[in-house]
């Protein structure tokens, strides 16, 4: 988000994950992107071994201190001023309308500055971002920084909802801030699965028409149903391995997974059932060797370049993602 606000790049909210850290490379006439192990994955591996950097301890401490401040009293003091302009919302539907009015309203500069302070941008950085916004012609916030506007809408919905007592069960907002933060990832997926009551109650206000929310309980039940379905197959079929009979879901649309595949996968996915995963459809050894050599050369001999077609990874000839498997 900070890169978006400072003009370093555009955050595409098209239902696909946005992965940082890729290095554009050029090898001969072809271009590729190499993703090494991300800092998050590296940190997660260390945390599993109870190894923490001092800066991580400091950030965690500040995060806990910030949560202590998020009391209903403090939230009310900060956000009740909006009600003198827009009135107190009586429902979650009215609340979402109010949030959109604030973000799309005429007081763009004040809204931008307030939003930057909410997400914790340092004052000196706020000034730089506001000056960049002004030099862009003081565009609507959603046009200037669409992902920032989205995150701000989630935060305003949460804090104004608490201030208006629309979340009567949120007696301790500190415990729900992390739950709400999961909605920040919503623009980068097609299906959002959760068993959290908060997500079940409010995610519909932030879903795009091309997205689906799946209740975690329904998802677990469908997985159990799939397990039962495959368990009833003949032993000679099961002995071939899962990828030979469960590489796609059953045709039966009573399965939630099947319905999601119908909605989001290519319409030809059912034709894949004619494929054989018994080893007879493997890539021939020569082609497999050539692909492996090309991947190795891209990583070792490729020359770093600044970007590929204005940063669009779809224009790359190849993409290499390195994973460390435990």
Of 255, 248, 246, residue with least CA distance to 269? 248
Confidence bin at 167 (pLDDT 50/70/90): confident
CB 115 within 8 A of CB 148: yes
pLDDT for res 280? 60
* 185 to 10, 43, 100: CA distances (angstroms): 16, 20, 19
Number of helices (H) and strands (E), helices first, in the chain?
Answer: 17, 6
CA angle 116, 191, 224 (to 5 degrees): 135
Q: For the chain, what percent of residues have pLDDT higher than 90?
A: 38
What pLDDT shows up at residue 191?
A: 96
Question: What is the mean pLDDT of the segment spanning 176-204?
Answer: 91
pLDDT at 249: 93
- Find the mean pLDDT for residues 171-188: 80
Nearest-angstrom CA–CA distance, 182 and 170:
17
Tell me: the pLDDT tens digits for 82-135?
888 888 999 999 999 999 999 999 999 999 999 998 888 888 888 899 999 999
Q: What is the CA radius of gyration of the chain?
A: 24
- Per-residue pLDDT of 273-302, as tens digits, reads 776 655 566 678 888 888 888 888 888 888
- Confidence label for 20 from pLDDT (cuts 50, 70 and 90): confident
pLDDT for 110 equals: 92
Instruction: Give the pLDDT band of residue 205 (cuts 50, 70, 90).
Output: very high
Q: Which of 50-64, 121-135, 206-220 has the highest mean pLDDT?
A: 206-220
Instruction: Name the band, by pLDDT with cuts 50, 70 and 90, for residue 170.
Output: low
pLDDT of residue 310: 44
Q: In the structure, what pLDDT confidence band is assigned to residue 71 with cuts at 50, 70 and 90?
A: low
User: How large a percentage of the chain has pLDDT more than 70?
Assistant: 86
- Say what the pLDDT of residue 294 is: 84
Q: How confident is the model at residue 215 (pLDDT cuts 50, 70, 90)?
A: very high
pLDDT at 95: 95
Of residues 86 and 262, more confidence is placed in 262
49 pLDDT more than 60 = yes
pLDDT in the model for residue 199: 92
| Predicted pLDDT at 79 | 81
- Give pLDDT tens digits for 308-320: 654 567 778 888 8
Per-residue pLDDT, averaged over 40-69, amounts to 70
Q: Tokens for 204?
A: 């519909």
Please count the other Cβ atoms lying within 10 Å of the Cβ belonging to residue 83: 14
Question: How far apart (Å, rounded) are the C-alpha atoms in residues 280 and 138?
Answer: 60
């Amino acid at each position: 988000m900070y890169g978006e606000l400072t003009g370093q790049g555009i955050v595409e909210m098209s239902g696909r994950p946005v992965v940082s850290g890729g290095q554009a490379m050029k090898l001969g006439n072809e271009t590729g992107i190499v993703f090494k192990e991300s800092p998050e994955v590296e940190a997660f591996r260390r945390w599993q071994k109870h190894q923490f950097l001092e800066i991580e301890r400091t950030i965690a401490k500040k995060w806990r201190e910030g949560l202590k401040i998020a009391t209903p009293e403090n939230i009310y003091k900060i956000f009740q001023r909006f009600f003198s302009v827009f009135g107190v919302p009586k429902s979650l539907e009215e609340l979402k309308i109010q949030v959109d009015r604030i973000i799309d309203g005429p007081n763009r500069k004040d809204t931008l500055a307030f939003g930057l302070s909410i997400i914790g941008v340092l004052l000196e950085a706020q000034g730089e971002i506001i000056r960049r916004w002004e030099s862009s012609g003081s565009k609507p916030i959603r046009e200037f920084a669409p992902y920032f506007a989205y995150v701000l809408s989630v935060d305003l919905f949460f804090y104004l909802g608490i201030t208006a007592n629309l979340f009567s069960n949120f007696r301790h907002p500190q415990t729900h801030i992390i739950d709400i933060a999961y909605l920040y990832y919503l623009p980068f997926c097609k299906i959002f699965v959760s068993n959290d009551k908060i997500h079940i109650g409010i995610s519909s206000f932030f879903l795009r028409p091309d997205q689906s929310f799946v209740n975690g309980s329904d998802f677990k039940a469908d997985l159990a149903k799939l397990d039962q379905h495959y368990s009833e197959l003949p032993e000679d079929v099961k002995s071939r391995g899962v990828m030979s009979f469960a590489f796609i879901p059953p045709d039966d649309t009573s399965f939630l997974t099947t319905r999601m595949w119908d909605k989001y996968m290519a319409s030809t996915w059912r034709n894949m059932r004619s494929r054989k995963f018994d080893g007879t459809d493997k890539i021939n050894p020569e082609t497999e060797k050539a692909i492996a050599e090309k991947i190795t050369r891209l990583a070792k001999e490729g020359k770093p370049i600044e970007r590929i077609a204005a940063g669009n990874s779809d224009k790359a000839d190849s993409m290499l993602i390195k994973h460390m498997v435990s």
